[in-house]
Every structure is written in structure tokens, then in C-alpha cells.
A and B are shown apart, each in its own frame.
Chain A
Amino acid sequence: MKASHISSVLRRHMTVYTKLYLSSIALNFAEPILYLAAFGIGLGAFVQQIDGMPYLNFIAPGIIASSATFGAVYECTYGTYVRMFFQKTFDAILATPVSLYELVAAELIWGALKSAFYGSIIMLVLALFGLLPSALILFAIPVLFLSGLLFASLSMIVAAVVPGIESFNYFYTLFMTPLFLFSGIFFPLTGLPPFVEKIALFSPLHHLVTACRALANGQTGGVFADVLWITAALVLVIPWPFRLMRKKLIK
């Protein structure tokens, strides 16, 4: 793999992004504010404190983690699929010196960059609301990139195996939504029945949320274990988008 080939594809994505989507960046600011209004102020009126912190402070790091994650997931499910099949962008790129593996690597890195970027925007908004007491939260940005790579890989596996674009619904409904709801974003997992809690410990999003929450509160104790968990999962998962995309595209 050549870095110059990967970066040429990244530059293509960057050109498209700055041209078409940067104007919609205000929406990325709006999203966390909506969450804060609904859950923090609405629900928070009934829930005073969780784990010894105000409810808004409890959910803030989780919102960073989930928005970042969905940024990578959208990019490498719908985004990748549209480029691959509808726009035939992959075919055009593969006629150049860029190889399939370099192209897949660029897609994954782009997904991870979006995860880190979206997470950083939300971090900024939440910090302005005074919901992130510790500056250690800045260390979450590389973690968001790492987990972004993991989720980009999972998403590209799905993009490589679905028979059609509508099949992504299964992935979102059966995988992403449960992950979003049961990863300790809105309530601590300790409140769940023990077996559900055990299952939830296998959620990669849960480990990201825990890491972000610890950093936001200036703690570093458990962060290493969470990052290690995410890294291990990434090592296991990352060969598959390459293998499956190869199987899908090179017949």
C-alpha cells in the first residue's frame, strides 16, 4: 500500500466534502443542542443526578461518542455504497494506479476522520455550555478516530455484504439502535438486569462512552482499558472490509 495513493482518494473526499457539505456544518452544531434540550432539560427535570453528577453532565460525553460514531457509520454504509454502486466512483478510481486495498483503506480513514471531526464539533458546543469540566476531554479526539476506524470497518463489512441499499435498515435497526440505547449514554448500565449488562459490555460504543465520560471528568483510570478493548476489537475486525470488498468487487 502506498500512502500517496490513499491520500489522493482522501483528497477527493475532502474536495467533495468542502464543496457540498461544509455548508451544512451548522446542522452538526444543532444536533447536540437538540439532544441537550430533549434529554437534558426535558428528561433532566425528572432525573436530578446520576453517579453523582448533574444529568446534563452525565449525558454530554455520551453525545460526543454517539454522534462521532454515527458520523463514521453513515459515511461507510450509505456513503461507501453510493460511491461504489450508484456513482461508480470506485470503478473510476480502480482504473488508476490506486489499488482496491488502498481504496478501502482510504474509505476507512475517511470514516474515522469524520468520526473525530464530528466528535470535536460537538465537544466544542458542549464545552461552551460548560458541560465538560476537564480539558482532558481533548484526549478523546484520537480515541474517536480509533473507534471511528472500528465502526467504519464494521460498516464497510455490511456495505460489502448487503444485497441492496435498503438492507442497511437491518443494520441500523438491529445493531446501531440497540447500541445507541444500551451503551450507557442515557443511563448507567448498572441499572440493567445483570445478563443484559454483560451483553452491553461487548458494545464498542459503551467503551467509547466510558472513556469519554472519564476524560470529561478529568479521570484517566479506566480509559486505558477501554482504549485497549477498542484497539483489540479493531485488530480483529479490520481485515474483513478488505477481504469482503475484494470478494464483492473483483470477480
Chain B
Amino acid sequence: MDVITAHALTKKYGDFFAVNGIDFAITQGECFGFLGPNGAGKTTTMKMISCFLPPSSGDLHVFDMSVCEKPSEIKARLGVMPQEDNLDPDLNIIENLIVYAGYFGIGKREAKLRAVELLKFIELSERKRTPIKDLSGGMKRRLMLVRALMNNPEIIMLDEPTTGLDPASRHSVWDRMNELKFNSTTLLLTTHYIEEAERLCDRVAIMDRGRIVAIDTPRTLMITYGGNLEDVYLKLTGRRLEG
């Protein structure tokens, strides 16, 4: 069953096409990655799916609902972990989770139980009352990850989940994502790290300048084009992804 479908999806700013007529379908339970350099249109695509940006044209349905018609209903079932830190600096760790759950209509008592459980999952149980400013970059990312889980989402959207993290913190975020995959939650992520895409994604869409140039399992892509995903990217776009 497809949980997200896009046809000729386009986002335009003046004459510039941030996303230029892309098509894709995401199946329930898979981990799907948008791979590409900065400016490829990955984040814009994510923001359209999470009903933050209205598409300029084309068609985008999440859970069979149009993002233009039912944004609130769609957002209620999504868990969004954005690229930028937007934790609430006026609140401590557990307050962040409880207040955020409140936006989904989850009561304080229930939110507290869930927050405690999720903080165990990211090993921050001992620091419930720590202010956000005292957290490391890796802790903030992990906290943003579980904040996106507070509403028991059916799709989790992770925009560059490990960008800017040191290797240890990156692995710690990956471990959590792997656990989520075991629970067969649909995961949608953007990345410009080859390793991240190879390790986690069941399928990847390779994006370049607003278009999807290839979409398949990492394995099939590597067999079709030869080499590793980095080589695939180079062959398809004539450019290197990292460096």
C-alpha cells in the first residue's frame, strides 16, 4: 500500500524550480531516502509532504489525502524531525516533549508516560530536567527524533538526521533509526551521506537540481550503474556528492 504518492510535483520560486516535476510513491513500512547534494530539492520535497510548503503544481497525496486539502489531518499522523534545531529553548527536555504532544491533543499524563519511555530509548532518562542549551549536538538530534515520535506517527520524516554530527553521535542516531525500522514504521529521510543511504534505505531516489534522476533499491542501482552509490551518483549527474 502506498502512503505517499507524488505526480509531476513542482515547487517554483519565480523562474527557479526548486522541485521540478517529480514522481514517486512510498510504500508503507519501507525506509525511503532522498539522496542528493544541498540544493537538489530534497528538503523542499520533505516540506511539501509535511504540509509546510504548498506545491506550485502537480499532485501530492499522503494517506490518500491531498496536502492542499487536509494538512491538519495529515500532520496528525506524521512525525517530523527537521534539519534545524527547533527545540523549545524556554523548556527543559521533558517539558519539550509534553508541550509538543499537547499540539497533537495528547493530554499531559499520557504524554509524560510516553516521554519517559522515549527518553529511555535515547538514553536521556537521567537528564529529564536539563535545559536544552546544556545538550550536545548529538543529544539534541536524538531528542528531536523522539519528539517526532510523541504522536505515534505512521510516517517519520527525517531531514538530514545526522548532518553535522561526529561519528559516534551519528551511529547513535542510526541505531535508533534501525530500531524504528524493525517496528516497520515508514521512514522517509534525506541525506547527502552515501553511507547513510546504503545502511538504512530500502529504496533511494537520487535527486539533482530539482529532479529525480533514478529511483530504486541501492543494490539494483549499484548493479545497473556499477560501483557503489557514490559512483552511481557520479555517473547519473556527472558530479560528486561529497567533498
Complex contact B103–A5 (CB within 8 A): yes
- Among all A-B residue pairs, the 9 with the closest Cβ atoms: A88-B86, A96-B103, A95-B80, A92-B86, A16-B90, A8-B102, A97-B76, A97-B72, A12-B99
Contact residue among B50, B88, B104, B151 (Cβ-Cβ distance under 8 Å from A89): B88
Known: A87-B86, A88-B85, A250-B54. Is A93-B91 also a contact (CB below 8 A)? Answer: no
List residues 65-102 of chain A with CB under 8 A from any CB of chain B. 87-89, 91-99
Complex contact A15–B75 (CB within 8 A): no
A20 interface residue, CB < 8 Å from B? yes
Name A16's closest neighbour in chain B (CB-CB).
Answer: B90
Size band of the interface chain B makes with A: 20 to 34
Query: Is the contact region of chain B dominated by helix, strand, or loop, or is it mixed?
Result: loop
Complex contact A87–B75 (CB within 8 A): no
Name A11's closest neighbour in chain B (CB-CB).
Answer: B102
List residues 1-37 of chain A with CB under 8 A from any CB of chain B. 2, 4-5, 8-9, 11-12, 15-16, 19-20
Q: Write the nearest CB–CB distance from A24 to chain B, whole angstroms.
A: 14
Contact residue among B73, B95, B104 (Cβ-Cβ distance under 8 Å from A96): B104
Q: How far is the CA of A97 from the CA of B105 in the complex (A)?
A: 9
Complex contact B88–A87 (CB within 8 A): yes
Name A90's closest neighbour in chain B (CB-CB).
Answer: B86
B84 interface residue, CB < 8 Å from A? yes
Complex contact A93–B53 (CB within 8 A): no
Name A20's closest neighbour in chain B (CB-CB).
Answer: B90
Q: Write the nearest CB–CB distance from A10 to chain B, whole angstroms.
A: 10
Query: Is the contact region of chain A dominated by helix, strand, or loop, or is it mixed?
Result: helix
Which residues of A are in contact with B by a Cβ distance under 8 Å?
2, 4-5, 8-9, 11-12, 15-16, 19-20, 87-89, 91-99, 250-251
Contact residue among B71, B72, B88, B105 (Cβ-Cβ distance under 8 Å from A92): B88
Q: Write the nearest CB–CB distance from B103 to chain A, whole angstroms.
A: 4
Name B88's closest neighbour in chain A (CB-CB).
Answer: A89
Complex contact A4–B105 (CB within 8 A): yes
Q: Write the nearest CB–CB distance from B159 to chain A, whole angstroms.
A: 11
Q: How far is the CA of A89 from the CA of B89 in the complex (A)?
A: 9
Which residues of B are in contact with A by a Cβ distance under 8 Å?
13, 50, 52-54, 71-73, 75-76, 78, 80, 82, 84-91, 95, 99-100, 102-105, 151
Most B C-beta atoms less than 10 A away, residue of A20, A87, A96, A251: A96
Residues of A within 8 A of B82 (CB): 91-92, 95
Complex contact B52–A95 (CB within 8 A): yes
Residues of B within 8 A of A88 (CB): 84-86
Q: Write the nearest CB–CB distance from B102 to chain A, whole angstroms.
A: 4
Known: A95-B52, A97-B72, A250-B53. Is A12-B84 also a contact (CB below 8 A)? Answer: no
Contact residue among B85, B91, B95, B103 (Cβ-Cβ distance under 8 Å from A97): B103
Most B C-beta atoms less than 10 A away, residue of A5, A8, A92: A92
Residues of A within 8 A of B54 (CB): 250
Complex contact A97–B104 (CB within 8 A): yes
Complex contact B100–A251 (CB within 8 A): no
Complex contact A93–B103 (CB within 8 A): yes
Give 13 CB contacts A-B under 8 Å. A8-B105, A9-B103, A11-B102, A20-B90, A87-B86, A87-B88, A87-B90, A88-B86, A89-B86, A92-B82, A96-B103, A97-B103, A97-B104
Q: How far is the CA of A5 from the CA of B76 in the complex (A)?
A: 11
Complex contact A95–B88 (CB within 8 A): no
Most A C-beta atoms less than 10 A away, residue of B54, B71, B90: B90
Name A96's closest neighbour in chain B (CB-CB).
Answer: B103
Residues of B within 8 A of A11 (CB): 99, 102
Residues of B within 8 A of A250 (CB): 52-54
Q: How far is the CA of A16 from the CA of B89 in the complex (A)?
A: 10
Residues of B within 8 A of A15 (CB): 91, 95, 99
Residues of B within 8 A of A98 (CB): 72, 103
Residues of A within 8 A of B76 (CB): 96-97
Given A5-B72, A87-B86, A97-B105, 17 new contacts (CB under 8 A): A4-B105, A5-B103, A8-B105, A11-B99, A11-B102, A12-B103, A15-B91, A16-B88, A19-B90, A87-B88, A89-B88, A91-B84, A92-B87, A95-B82, A96-B76, A97-B72, A250-B54
